[in-house]
Amino acid sequence: MSAHLEGKSVVVTGGARGIGRAVATAAAEAGARVVVADYGGAVDRNQAGSSEAADTVVDEITAAGGEAVAAAVDVSTMDGGRAVVEAAMDSFGRLDAVVCSAGITALKYLWDIEEQEWDDVIAVHLKGDFSCAKAAAKVMIPQSSGSLIFLSSGALNGMPNVTAYATAKAGILGFTWSTANALGRFGITTNCMVPSAAT
């Protein structure tokens, strides 16, 4: 087991399921102290308010000898972005990385998707990354170090039945480039992963 993240503090949004969960547990296995940030909602709608999903991952990490705390907040709000960063600072005294994996989708074509569904998907993906990155930057700039990682998707190639999701994931690329150019001078790295999978 690698310990290359020993002593580091990492926030993972969407950390209770899917890719986020895998990142959270892998970071803990590598020695990081992890904030499992997850609002507890289903992937196909923006509803939640429960920390049960995040608590489950925290329990798994601590049972394996790691350190983790849950943050069941809505990162599509500025308060939510600040809250996940504060959770790291309050619990671990530092913030070294934020991995933005939170996301929802609406499996609908352009002519079927409702305005609120569009707004919810765009908010969780794009505003969620913005809210967390802005809050993290205010901690990372003074310390002259840190890492931001955003997740896009192969769906950005124009997958037709996830209109809002594909749009949000394409937007994340622009956000990544802009953020990387802005924060690089402060010793902060910004990257975007674009996984693609079929089931």
Instruction: Give the model confidence (pLDDT) of 18-32 as tens digits.
Output: 999 999 999 999 999
196 pLDDT tier (thresholds 50, 70, 90): confident
> What is the distance in angstroms between the CA of the first residue and the CA of the last residue of the chain?
29
150 pLDDT tier (thresholds 50, 70, 90): very high
- Token readout for 175 is 């956000």
- Residue 41: strand, helix, or coil: coil
pLDDT at 18: 92
pTM of model > 0.85: yes
Spatial CA neighbour of 91 closest among 65, 63, 70, 64:
70
50 pLDDT tier (thresholds 50, 70, 90): confident
Start-end of H helices in the chain: 18-29, 52-63, 78-92, 115-122, 128-143, 163-183
- What is the mean predicted confidence (pLDDT) over 107-119? 96
Query: Catalytic annotation on 165?
Result: yes
% of the chain beyond a pLDDT of 70: 93
Of the residues 165, 166, 169, 175, which is catalytic? 165
Count Cβ neighbours within 10 Å for each residue of 182-193 and write b for 16 or more, e otherwise.
ebeeeebebebe
pLDDT at 46: 55
pLDDT at 158: 86
pLDDT at 99: 98
41 pLDDT tier (thresholds 50, 70, 90): low
